[in-house]
A = this chain, B = another copy of it.
Amino acid sequence: MKHAVTFQLHKTDTRTKARRGTLFTPHGRIETPVFMPVGTQATVKAIKTDAVRHLGAEGAHILLANTYHLYLRPGHEIIREAGGLHAFMNWDGAILTDSGGFQVFSLGDLRKITEEGVAFRSHIDGSAHMFTPEKSIEVQQALGADIIMAFDECAPYPADRSYVEQSLQRTTRWLQRCKQHHRNEDRQSLFGIMQGGMYSDLRRQSAEQIVELDLPGYAIGGLSVGEPKPLMYEVLDACVDYLPAEKPRYLMGVGSPDCLFEGVERGIDLFDCVLPTRIARNGTAFTSRGRVSVKNAKYARDFGPLDPNCDCDTCRNYSLAYLRHLYKADEILSSMLLTEHNLYFLVHTMEQIRKSIEEDRFLEYKKTFLEGGGGCE
């Protein structure tokens, strides 16, 4: 059987687990490691797809969209009728959809978990719905992304060992149901998700169960859920070792600049995060000197760029003083210019990371970047 998405590993760093690869999808090839901008509601917030396509030197080639949100609004059937998500949102690059699992678990009192699936109420109108592994796959097939994700439970932090163990085992049973229900493997590839909380042996148990299903890619879920970063890195270190080297590895929901370096160093290929677009709308930018809040009064007469080391359109053409004015005046252009910058910053940084791996100087690049202040924790 031909898989929709395949992965080719070009090189592994000699001193770390960092690696250079290429992901081949029905909508083009993606050089890894890569950061995927998030388009929750079938739009990366405050930026047009043609601008996303031209971020950095090579452009962004894969986006993430959200099954829960699109199922509720506009409805996956409408997107199916539109010809799928690519056509609907005018994006001819690749798309990954999450399963909706993370969102329905985040609903708290509005959801109830059983072996069958999760009953929940819409955050929009309170209407009652049920997501099962089968339903999630059906919705994701209607959306038509290149990579679809298994329906899983992301255990909270902190959580009892016994809860985490039961939860990861249910996640495995749900993954088996997802795989069973998934039909068009030549057009969409199903990735499994490892869980297991902060317990290294449970991570191993989860990995062994999901790897057995021989899927085209694996994600690490349940990290960056409130735990301290050193703990996350420790767990991540172990996680990666339980996954097969020849398959792509996706660290879900992680994307601050420092975490990208730490993730790459530990062998991660794919990242996504709402942070760059969310903080942009809040007037905050990632820069090579650390986070900058354009609200700051000291920028009122700063006619220099947001980041003198950045070549994005925002940094080439607009001043900090102007960006501050736009934010204070509540102008949409503020969100637009900062979103473009933040995404460019991450896409560009990943390009530099890829190059540094190719040239055997990943650790040196990481050191320079973080010592310059670009980590933006």
Write the residues of chain A forming the contact surface with B, with a CB cutoff of 8 angstroms.
41-43, 45-48, 50, 69, 73-74, 78, 81-83, 88-90, 300-301, 303, 313, 317-319, 321-322, 324-326, 328-329, 331-333, 335-337
Which of B50, B90, B328 lies in contact with A73, CB distance below 8 A? B328
Q: Could you say which residues of chain B place their CB within 8 Å of the CB of A88?
A: 319, 321-322, 325
Instruction: Say whether B43 contacts A326, CB under 8 Å.
Output: yes
Complex Cα–Cα for A326 and B313 (A): 25
Could you tell me the distance in whole angstroms from the C-beta of A307 to the nearest C-beta in chain B? 16
Which of B81, B317, B321 lies in contact with A303, CB distance below 8 A? B81
Q: Which A-B residue pairs are the 10 nearest by beta carbons?
A: A74-B325, A46-B332, A43-B333, A90-B317, A41-B329, A43-B331, A82-B303, A88-B322, A73-B329, A90-B318
Complex Cα–Cα for A177 and B373 (A): 55
Instruction: Say whether A78 contacts B301, CB under 8 Å.
Output: yes
27 contacts between A and B (CB under 8 A): A41-B325, A41-B326, A42-B325, A43-B326, A43-B333, A45-B331, A45-B333, A46-B332, A46-B336, A48-B313, A48-B333, A48-B337, A73-B329, A74-B325, A74-B328, A81-B301, A82-B303, A82-B319, A82-B321, A88-B319, A88-B322, A89-B322, A90-B317, A90-B318, A90-B322, A332-B332, A336-B336
Complex Cα–Cα for A50 and B46 (A): 16
Which residue in chain B gives the minimum CB-CB distance to A49?
B317
Complex Cα–Cα for A43 and B199 (A): 52
Instruction: Say whether A74 contacts B332, CB under 8 Å.
Output: no
